[in-house]
A and B are shown apart, each in its own frame.
Chain A
Amino acid sequence: MPSRRRALLVLLSLIVVSVASLALAVAVGSVSLDLDDALSRQVVLALRLPRALAAFACGGLLALAGALMQILLRNPLADPYVLGISGGASVGALLAMLFGLPLVLIDGGAFVGALAATLLVFGLGHGEGAWTSTRLLLTGVIVASGCGAVVALVLTLAPEAQLRGMLFWLLGDLGQSGTPWPALAVLGVGLAAALPYARDLNVLARGEITAMNLGVPVVRLRTGVQAAASLLTAVAVTTAGSIGFVGLVVPHLTRLAVGNDQRLLLPAATLGGASLLTLADTLARSIAAPVQLPVGALTALIGVPLFLFLLTRRGGLA
């Protein structure tokens, strides 16, 4: 258990890392940064900064949602998409693309799809007692695979010209993200709402009976956590598509580094995820420039070996 002072120090250094990652994202690109030059200023303000902030927000949203989901399901291997949210969002977004709807309606479709999948899992997966986590997980997995089937169907039916956009959306891509402010606002509100309950979450992670014994309102807390994690994920997916592995690997790595005290873990994972996705997106748009890679493919490429390493490492998982 970290002391309050150590927690503040860790968070302070992560804030420095976050600011540095944003600065790097704004500085790197085909047009070099020169604040005296009008064109350069416009590129930075209109293109790079919003995209960097969108990456920052999405990374934070996914990491926070992942950390919450891992507590909710008492499983260090849970991720924000495990309850079918990304599947639902994919169906919504791809259907909107199939019918050639404008960007704002694609985002809307993704959000509606995410919420629909959440409500479906929420409604079907809620039972009493010790089976809740397993039942939630199974319901989520089934809903996700159902969505996967619909996605496959849409991809088959889609005209050639739309396939590339759909593929990018499915992999997760920040090139199409609009204004970053709603995502940033949701991230701020979500983190501020979760922090007062951080110690309650510590106790909930110890098991339902233990939490009830210690006076934690388990049913209310679980419902709140599930709703919050779902909303955070839905906003992230709406902004950038299904970016994988950030929500799984970042909370997990953060737990290994700073321990499982949610008072430190939640903000640390948020800042870590935000910085990581900002850097990954900078890499994705500069590594093979002028070709832009979908950032989701990059996070998966980094995430998969990292995760396998953690999995096989002795004592890396409880």
Chain B
Amino acid sequence: MDLKMDLEERLRAETWGKPSSVNDLPQRVPPDRQTPFPNFASHKNLQKREDQDPSISNYGMRIEPSFSEFNRPSECQPPLPSNPISQDRGVQMNDILQLGKTQEWDPKAMLNNLSFLEQKIHQLQELVHAIVGRRGPVLGRPDELVAQQQQLITADLTSIIIQLISTAGSLLPSVKNSLSSASTPPIRQLGQLGGILNNSGSGIGLDSNLVLPSQGGSKVPDQSNQVDPMDQSAIDNLEDHESKDDEDGDEGENLPPGSFEILQLEKEEILAPHTHFCTICGKGFKRDANLRMHMRGHGDEYKTPAALAKPHKEAGSEMMLIKRYSCPYAGCKRNKDHKKFQPLKTILCVKNHYKRTHCDKSYTCSRCNSKKFSVIADLKTHEKHCGKDKWLCSCGTTFSRKDKLFGHITLFQGHTPAIPFDENKGGLSLQGEHNEDTNKVGNVSFSFGSSTPSSGGVQNIMEDVKGNVDDPSSFFSPLSFEASNFGGFNEFTRSAFDDSEGAFSFLLQASCNYPQKNGGQSSSNNLE
């Protein structure tokens, strides 16, 4: 554990060096946020950007409208206290200040902290009051809500205690190191809670705007099934976290092993052609690297190696939260409300899944003119193999290589090679082999092309027809059709797999790896 703690410290130190970078990973952080304390600076930028392009709302981390959005659902959940946002933000700033200046004790910051704690306790009081006052009405409501409220209170209390400890800790310069390690869990916890907000799927997660606000608090009880009780409590704390999230959101996770944070992008975001936008001119890019290249044109400060470097590279691969994504399409298995919800691993997965499953297939293969795709990469993959995947098994499986087909047939009893469809279609020589039609045509032309009347030929043809009628379907491999369907399915799975190696993979993987470890550790810290 000591080792872990040490590591923790180091990591935290790094994180503090670039607080925002970690948090913004899933949102594909614009370069301007790489400055040591970007939060304040980036506010304006972000807001500006938000104004320019509403579709990139996921960058609007601390934007007023989003708060109101958040507050709306909270109103329909009476137990949730609505706190003055400005206050929260102030606290947040203080928090950051405090974190940033651990080395020298700042009495003002301390004062701020204390007043924050005071407010926090007041809020808690109000909440408990409200609960007591609403006992009656609440009785009619599901028990979950009560439990949830209790959890919220617990979470709030926890955060207050943590805050208290960290504040006290800052008074002791000699125990700075241990302090910082001690203060880590709370911070992470906060961040985690922020992350969980997204998770909860209610309108709360506006920090990243990844969640559909409309889904509201009514959904909360559902989530309680999936989400750790601790996370649920975070709903109460959201005022704090909505802002904190930004930097700490990914830092810590209190989820038991195997659980994860669920993010949900909106349809518009999923379908947006560009995901990286220049903060200066607003131009959109598909890749962050392209944006960075573009940024060079905006001034020398963007030409520094640091600005041009791949962001978050140094963030390390160990300290990230597991993120999983939910499809916004209600009723979809990839939607978090589905009973057998299967999360999507990366944003690219989300995009491809959404396009493949819930969008029109607008790209048609120019070779076969029959296969359609909604993801252009799928089309390209298909076109590479279109017409080449000619090795079919009777079970409908297609193979690009003959030896693979034969290996398959060797392995499975009763499977047999299927005759390629085009052979059935004909194009056969003189005596047309399989295709009855060409065959008969061939015969007819013989018979009538000749100088003598050959009724025998005609008769043959007629009998041919009869013979064929007996067994019309058997000449064609009945499975070749299925096979083509299957091919589609194959392609789907294959592309889904490819996604992990897609253009964004470096970002996404990094973002996945980082929280994973960190989360695990923080949880163990908390347990201790």
A associates with B: no
> Chain A: residues with CB nearer than 8 A to chain B?
none
> Chain B: residues with CB nearer than 8 A to chain A?
none
